[in-house]
A and B are shown apart, each in its own frame.
Chain A
Amino acid sequence: MTETTKTILSQHTRSEIDMWLKKYPEDKKQSAVLVALREAQHQNEGYLTTEYMNAVADYLGMSNIAVYEVASFYSMFETQPVGRHSISVCTNISCLLMGSDDIVNHIEKKLDIKTGESTGDGKFYIKREEECLAACCGGPMMMVDHKYYENLTTDKVDKILDSLD
């Protein structure tokens, strides 16, 4: 690990990654790349930069480009700056039937941004959700910072979003 990596990945992030590394054989460190990227993204409040990805690559002994490939492949990794609270409203078939469009419209109006954009203060980001989030029984639903909220109404959405700092 280089000194730069140490300064980029916090002690906390590194210990989280280490915990996952213990679950894999010693020579298969790259198995932990997804969790490592998740921790790095978390540390940087919601998105990855080249510096963070390089640090993860160095920490896991991977080539930089291999980490870029993973980070750009998975939709849960943001490689451009976004707001620190990530809102994903499921718009797949079950949620759609239960009125997810209204929820999306409400959030867009409330935050004055479109899906795929972040608020000017860097607080919120509405993610363009691609796939079903597997909570069909509770539609319409959304995920905010990895937490599921089901059976949404516009009031409920307001409460959830207003409670975030």
Chain B
Amino acid sequence: MSDNHIKIEVDGKSLKADKGQMLIEVTDANDIYVPRFCYHKKLTVAANCRMCLVEVEKAPKPLPACATPVMDGMIVKTQSKVATDAQKSIMEFLLINHPLDCPICDQGGECELQDLAMGYGGDVSRYQEKKRVVKDKNIGSLIQTDLTRCIHCTRCVRFGEEVAGLREMGATGRGENMEIGTYIEKSVSSEMSGNIIDLCPVGALTSKPFRYSARTWELVQKDGIAPHDSVGSNIHLHVKGDRVKRVAPAENESINEVWLSDRDRFSYEGIYSDDRLQMPMIKEDDSWKEVDWETALDVVKEKLNGVIESNSAEQVGLLASPSATLEELYLLQKFARGIGSSNIDTRLRQADFSDQDLVSQFPYLGQTVSGLETLQSALLIGSNVRKEQPIMNHRLRKAALKGAAIMLLNPVDYDYNYPLEVKSIVAPEELPLELTSILKAVIEMSDGPIDTQAKQYVENVNFTEVHQIIASKLISSKRAIVLLGNTATAHPQFSSLRTLAGLIAKISNSNLGYLSEAANSSGAWLAGAVPHRHAGGKQCANIGMNSNEMLHAKLKAYVLLGTEPELDCWDSRAARIAMNDAELVISLTAYRSGEIENYADVMLPISAFVETSGTYINNEGISQSFTGAVPPLGEARPAWKLLRVLGNTFNLDGFEYQSSSDVNAEVMQTIGDIKAENMGHWRSPVAIEKKSTDLQRITETPMNMIDSLCRRAFSLQQTDNVSDGAIHINRVLADKNNLSDTDTANVEQDDSAVNLNVVIDDRVPDDCVLIQSAHPAQIDLGGSFGPIRIAKA
């Protein structure tokens, strides 16, 4: 036996254990049950509930299994009289102040206290005195508190400190007056806050949107995949009848561990938004009419063929949401190419596509999600990963706390919940320049062979200490990565950023990766829902228009799948104009909105998240399929079925599928092994333009605004992570323009102007204006980046 392994005996069984393990870890690993409240495998040991007391031979008193390190030859009894007496006494103490309100408690039926009270509680309470009562706190729209039920296990407090990286909950007061809460009236703001609902062993913290809407034993648990960020978190859907009532994380150590971001947890509310489209509708003489599916499809065929015949199929553009499933996107591109159009895209928040032919098979993370936590250094370019891919941020945070150098190059000084090695906050136009400086530093410090072209390129560039630190960290780390985030992808010189990041990664011997935006950003590429690639990544002979070209070309007809272009596209103004001016807009949508009704001619109701079976391929390239958990509302149909029928309606070949798994089998066969190679596929560096004197617009999409579903999730919309429809400028720029927090500014971009409120925000660099996209007030402005003018209104 090696030094590290020891043997202990628990309940007469001899068990192998590692030195330094806590007793409860060993019993858990061997399926020996020890009751507990405060212990959680992902949190530090607090040992304050004392429920896990067990008898250890030679110890004078029972010991808490969660805080007792194993020792060689230790003899433990978990079921002896000493152990169970201790546990029963603890239970009696815990129940002293716990209310007997299980019949009205949402936790009832899945409550650890309730369960253990069955096993360890007395049938009659000896405590006759008054129970304490704690006033409930309002901690925001997501989490309901009933703090009288709290047993002070402090899991929620430790979660804040250790996992969320933002200590918001605490135990104030002492003794009988100790209370868990935020002390001051405030909403918890962590993007992962919902996890304390799962952590809470009692009904003190429960889901606010779920409150009183079902009893837990009425719920059926089904599996699913989270539909928002590119992590592909595994989820449980709790279904009552035909409705999803709640979403909880499903454990998957290699992806989301036991956690879930708030967006993935609460967005299900959007399924039941009032504006769900439940019947196919066609516009006749400017008024909307509900029709049956057959009529609707006939109208689609007639109108779309009309456009194709009187113009050409190239006048049809297809825009799809990157959170549509692999099967839907595959069928959509098959349909598009079948009718003769290659104008299909899901890269809606992107503007620079100039090197799309060189890009790898899909925007690959460059490594595994779980591997992020073992990185030694990472350079993040244009990313608010904390809000955009919260689970990946959690992994990066773990790496940072272990000493990894996380370095940042961003156009907005986003808040990070771990220490950063260095950060450089610059205007968007300067991002490529910053990267050339880093590249120069990397070239000077590296002792490997350097591409002569790269050398020439940085000849006249200077670098500072910050660039030097970034370079040296990347070079000296064995496990290093350069990551391009959502803002980098949306940057007007994305291809330059990509090239520079790639060269930096290559010369410093690091990986290059992309933090992609949506649940199926990767799947969309692999399904061929891009204008230049077939499914599986094969180059197209006939390259169609990208999303931005489609909007600016003002095509005659658009087919939309699950997207609201004026809210989802890089250039919201161009999107609105293109939709309004088009002869024909067919919207395959789960929702109707004033805007859609205004420009669309046919609205076909498709099923929302969880109403369809399908597949998402995550950032790492893992393909995860799921089945529909509930039937679609009304006459809505899964989009893959609709596209199949559409294919048949247009007499296209190869649309004879029986199920979405038939479609999946075909796509997966075309794709083969999912693999991507990010390195070595970039064009030569291009000259970076000089800094202009104009103010520059920066656009971010707040986490709860990225798709139609979360924009309609009521509780998420009450949080801070939504668009405010204002301009964010720093104090310097505000003073220069004589603007203050209460003012309205006239904001002008190209030849269009709107009035927006002013928010003083010192996270924004000088001479830049930050605008949050997907807000109706800013649609008429235009592109996400570029020159902008402001003046007091």
Contacts and interface: CB of A to CB of B under 8 A. Distances in A.
Residue among B170, B171, B174 with the most chain A CB within 10 A?
B170
Interface string A7-51: 000000000000000000000000000000000000000000010
Contacts of A72: 172-174, 183
Contacts of A1: none
A50 B172 CA distance: 13
A4 interface: no
A65 B168 contact: yes
A66 B169 CA distance: 9
B167 interface: yes
Interface string B147-165: 0000000000000010000
Residue among A50, A64, A65, A73 with the most chain B CB within 10 A?
A65
Contact of A65 (B167, B173, B174): B167
B184 interface: yes
Contacts of A65: 167-170, 172, 182-183
A154 interface: no
B170 A73 contact: no
Contacts of B182: 65
A63 interface: yes
B174 A50 contact: no
Nearest to B182: A65
A68 B167 contact: no
Contacts of B171: 69
A72 B180 CA distance: 12
Contacts of B174: 72-73
A106 B562 CA distance: 78
Interface residues of A, number: 9
Interface in A145-160: none
Contacts of B167: 63, 65-66
Contact of A68 (B161, B166, B170): B170
Given A63-B167, A65-B167, A50 B173 contact: no
Nearest to B167: A63
Contacts of B172: 65, 68-69, 72-73
Contacts of B184: 50, 64, 68
A64 B181 CA distance: 12
Nearest to A72: B172
Nearest to B170: A65
B586 to A, nearest CB: 52
A119 B184 CA distance: 26
Interface string A53-77: 0000000000111101100110000
Contacts of A50: 184
A66 B161 CA distance: 10
B138 to A, nearest CB: 16
A68 B173 CA distance: 9
B178 to A, nearest CB: 8
Interface in A94-150: none
Contacts of A73: 172-174
A72 B175 CA distance: 11
A130 to B, nearest CB: 10
Nearest to A73: B174
Interface in B613-666: none
Contacts of B170: 65-66, 68-69
B143 to A, nearest CB: 15
A66 B183 CA distance: 10
Nearest to A54: B184
A61 to B, nearest CB: 11
Interface string B761-783: 00000000000000000000000
User: 6 smallest A-B Cβ distances: which pairs?
Assistant: A65-B170, A63-B167, A68-B183, A72-B172, A69-B170, A73-B174
Given A64-B183, A73-B173, 11 more contacts: A63-B166, A65-B168, A66-B170, A68-B172, A68-B183, A68-B184, A69-B170, A69-B171, A72-B172, A72-B183, A73-B172
Interface of B: 161, 166-174, 182-184
22 contacts: A50-B184, A63-B161, A63-B166, A63-B167, A63-B168, A64-B183, A65-B167, A65-B168, A65-B182, A65-B183, A66-B170, A68-B170, A68-B172, A68-B183, A68-B184, A69-B170, A69-B171, A69-B172, A72-B172, A72-B174, A73-B173, A73-B174
